Amino acid sequence: MKNISTAWLHLLNRSRLKPLAPIAGGAIALMLGGILLHVSGANPLQAYGVMFAGAFGGTRQLTETLLKAAPLLLIGLGMTIAFRCRVWNIGAEGQYYIGALCGSAIALTYPALPSLILIPLMLAASIGGGILWSGLAGLLHLYRGVNLIISTLMLNYIGILLVQYAARVPLQQPDGFLPESAQFGDNAQIPTMLGTRLHWGFGLALLLVGAVYLLLWYTPLGFQLRAVGSRLSVAKCVGINTSRSILIALTMSGGLAGLAGILEVSYTYTRLKGDISDSYGFSGILVALLGQLHPVGVLIAAVLFSGLMVGAQSLNVVLQIPASVAQVIQALVVLLVLAGQAIARAKRDDAIPLVAHDG
Amino acid sequence: MPWEQVLTGSFLIALLTAGIRLAVPVLLAVLGEIITERSGVMNLGIEGIMLVGGLAGFVTAQTLEQATGIASLAAWVGLLIGLLTGAAMGLLMAVLTVTLKTDQVVTGVTFVLLGQGLTSYIFRRATGLLGARVTGLQSWAVPGLSTLPVAGDILFNHNAIVYLTVALVVLCWLLLFRTHWGLELRAVGENPAAADTSGLRVQTIRYLAVMVGAALAGLGGAVLTVVQLNIFTEGIMAGRGWIAIALVFFSRWHPGGALVGALLFGIADALQYRIQALGFKALPYEFLLMLPYVLTLVVLVWGSRQSNTPAALGIPYSKGKG
């Protein structure tokens, strides 16, 4: 597999933000989801009402939605960098797990450190873990020509299984029966900000929206990454080191996924376990795509995806309707947006097949 | 517990027998994906398609078994429905990736999330499915051969699906390398423009390849739920769809390689179940579960330079632009 067409990416490169397709796709997906709800004996309007109230209906609900958006936003931002450089990192799930593992190892090894030192160390370790795990795929790609899609995919499960092993054996709580580590001390839990339940990780993710935007469009490095992503031959001609760009884009997305991992473990789970993700690594890919590979779009998409998930939880509590309906709607939105963009592209007849630098 | 107590003769026979059985659902999906990828399309949605096929097959088998009381009939119809459901998802995948030329990686990942969400929703909504079981298929001892020492137990005392899948490996190999159809399929995957020029209908062949591949994945899912585990639970495929994609690369797009890879997976899987059951500590079962992924990476690291990847894999084809 030398090549994966990314014509949609090409289209997006040309027109910065085209919010119409996701909005139309979202509307149709909600309709299809409504049909699913109706067929399974639920009242779609009532269900959507409950979902909306559960996700955005008050301060507590909104806080929950923003909290759950943080990992999606971080992973989505990373994917934005990677996909802009046309690097197919579908290993965010594994990078998230390894990031969580490295950060947790610090928290469990140095439980007595003061928060001010311990938390930055944990964050750094998690970013390092994500960089390492994605960089491994990058090195295999650059030196041995191993296809990035497949290597990042393989490393997903290897990473998840490593964490399951770590939580069951070496990092397991002493005298514990469950496959999980001891609970982190208060000093290892990421603090909340401004008197809300929102933790500083969310604030950091918000800052990164601006940082990624500046990086991609206002720095030489960002220009290089996008140049490699849009026209490989041109990038080579003007002397851009493509291998280096690929590695940078890949490890940046890996580092952000790793960061998302330790934030979730430190705040939501407060201990390392074998199951610490809501498929964030895969949903994050969809978030990046739905956000049109633009940091602001990714922010909006992450909040909407998270709103669907949080709203679906209250759907489960209030109406006993399974929360997985949220995942169905998410997948439908993305499929519809993909199809819509493809049809628009075919109409304009500007489908120039692009060749990705893979394998 | 020391190794000597674990590695007894009867343990090894039971292990290999279970390994062959566990290899079958994955092998079906791998054979399907080889056909799909040989035509130049990569279907990353296998995990989702297996889940949906597995649920559809299971619901059919369970309903029929309760209605008629004939377990084997119910199982076979369930498998057929699993196959057809897979084909239907393949049709959707082909519309998106072949006709509309959506990105195959993103479309595939989305299919997995769709399959997970849909099966989880239906499973939880239809509370009657919770804990319901089906009988599945009885094993069928091959006359004469099944009484052989050792080999008889390991190879010739399985249910019909196991034998059929082995036959399918041979059939797949014949189809790909010894028939005109196979030649056309591979031509489309290697050089669609040339195939088009010589009069082959590239899009039609890719539609068929994607649908056949997804049908086999759906069947694989149904085999796991209806015949082997006799139950459906959320996420029951446990990554088998991703393993299948890995094994396609491991096999180098060859049915024989698929057989070897799937057997390795099946035996590793059988071993990890037993190690967990025995409480054997020397070899953590997580490392056994990692084995198919690690082996695939190793094969790719050592073999990627002389890879026989279909040259047009992942690239949509448009007339006049190829």
Task: Name which of A255, A343, A237 is nearest A25 in CA terms.
Answer: A343
Contacts with A328 from chain B: Cβ below 8 Å? 114, 117-118, 121
Dist CA B155 CA B164 (whole Å): 13
Res A71: pLDDT: 96
Cα nearest neighbour of B286 on chain A:
A161
Residue A33 · residue A328 · CB < 8 Å: yes
Report DSSP state, residue B320.
T
Rounded to the nearest 5°, which phi and psi values hold at B45? -90, 10
Classify residue A260: in a domain, yes or no. yes
Alpha carbon A189 to its chain's center: 21
Query: What's the mean pLDDT in A149-164?
Result: 93
Each of the 322 residues of chain B gets a pLDDT tens digit; together they read 556 666 777 888 888 988 999 999 999 999 999 999 999 999 999 999 999 999 999 999 999 999 998 989 999 999 999 999 999 999 999 999 999 999 899 999 999 999 999 999 999 988 777 778 888 888 777 777 777 777 777 787 788 899 999 999 999 999 999 999 999 999 999 999 999 888 899 999 999 999 999 999 999 999 999 999 999 998 899 889 999 998 998 898 999 999 999 999 999 888 888 887 777 777 888 898 888 888 888 888 886 555 678 888 888 888 765 4
Nearest CA in chain B to A142: B301
Put simply, the answer to whether B301 touches A90 (Cβ < 8 Å) is no
Residue A7 has pLDDT above 50, yes or no: no
Any CB–CB contact under 8 A between A170 and chain B? Answer: no
Q: Does the beta-carbon distance from A153 to B246 stay under 8 Å?
A: yes
Q: Where are the alpha helices (DSSP H) in chain B?
A: 3-6, 9-38, 46-68, 71-94, 104-125, 151-155, 160-178, 180-190, 192-197, 202-222, 240-250, 255-278, 285-303
Q: Which chain B residues touch A321 with a CB distance below 8 Å?
A: 125
Chain A residues in contact with B312 (beta carbon < 8 A): 3
- In chain B, residues 157-196 whose CB comes closer than 8 Å to chain A: none
Residue A175: the pLDDT is 83
Q: What are phi and psi of A182, to 5 degrees?
A: -65, 155
Any residues with CB less than 8 A from the CB of B174 and at least 6 apart, and which? B182
**Residue B150 at interface with chain A, using a CB cutoff of 8 Å:** no
Mean pLDDT of A113-141: 95
In angstroms, the separation between the Cα of residue A114 and the nearest Cα of chain B is 34
How confident is the model at residue B150, as a pLDDT? 74
**Averaged pLDDT, A235-252:** 86
Q: Nearest chain A Cα to B243, which residue?
A: A154
Angle made by CA atoms A29, A34, A40, in degrees to the nearest 5: 130
Taking only residues 125 to 144 of chain B, the set having a beta carbon closer than 8 angstroms to any beta carbon of chain A reads 125
Under the banding of pLDDT at 50, 70 and 90, the label for residue A233 is low
CATH number, domain containing residue A84: 1.10.3470
B125 and A40: CB-CB below 8 Å?
yes
CB contact under 8 A, B104 and A5: yes
Question: Is residue A90 within 8 Å of residue A285, measured between CB atoms?
Answer: yes
- Tokens encoding B159: 């249910």
Is A353 a member of any domain? no
Is residue A2 a part of any domain in this protein? no
Copy the structure tokens of residue B173: 């190999």
Helices (H), A7-90: 7-14, 20-39, 44-56, 59-84
* A1 inside domain: no
Is A110 a residue whose pLDDT tops 90?
yes
Give pLDDT, residue B321.
53
Residue B198, token pair as written in the block: 């010589």
Domain ranges for chain B, please list them.
27-129+158-244
- Chain B, window 107-126: residues with a beta carbon less than 8 angstroms from a chain A beta carbon: 107, 109-114, 116-118, 120-122, 124-125
Structure tokens of A209? Answer: 């929206």
Residue A27 CA to residue A333 CA, distance in Å, equals 8
Confidence of residue A357 (pLDDT cuts 50, 70, 90): very low
Decide which of B163 and A197 is more confident. Answer: B163
User: How confident is the model over A147-163, as a mean pLDDT?
Assistant: 92
**Closest CA of chain B from A331, distance in Å:** 5
Chain B residues lying within 8 Å of A279, measured CB to CB: 113, 116
Of A1, A158, A286, the CB nearest to B294: A158
Side-chain half-sphere of A46: how many Cα atoms within 13 Å? Answer: 10
Q: Structural domain tally of chain A?
A: 1
- Does the CB of A151 have a partner CB in chain B at under 8 Å? yes
B111:A165 CB<8 A: no
pLDDT in tens, A272-312: 999 999 889 999 999 999 998 999 999 999 999 999 999 99
Q: How far is the C-alpha of A303 from the C-alpha of A292, rounded, in Å? A: 14
Distance (Å, whole) CA B123 – CA B119? 6
Rounded to a whole number of angstroms, the distance between the first and last alpha carbons of chain B is 61
For residues A83-106, average pLDDT: 95
Residue A354 within any structural domain of the chain = no
In-domain check, residue A58: yes
**B103 and A5 in contact by Cβ < 8 A?**
yes
Residue A117's domain comprises 7-348
Residues 204-263 of A with CB under 8 A from B: none
Backbone angles phi, psi at A183, to 5 degrees: -70, 140
Tens-digit pLDDT profile for residues A31-81:
999 999 998 888 999 999 999 999 999 999 999 999 999 999 999 999 999
Hey, are the CB atoms on B301 and A144 less than 8 Å from each other?
yes
pLDDT of residue A356: 45
Q: How many CB pairs under 8 A join A and B?
A: 179
- Determine the distance from the C-alpha atom of residue B88 to the mean position of all C-alpha atoms in its chain, rounded to a whole number: 16
Looking at residue B292, its pLDDT comes to 82
* C-alpha angle A62-A68-A74 in degrees, rounded to nearest 5: 125
Q: Please report the pLDDT score of residue A347 as a whole number.
A: 65
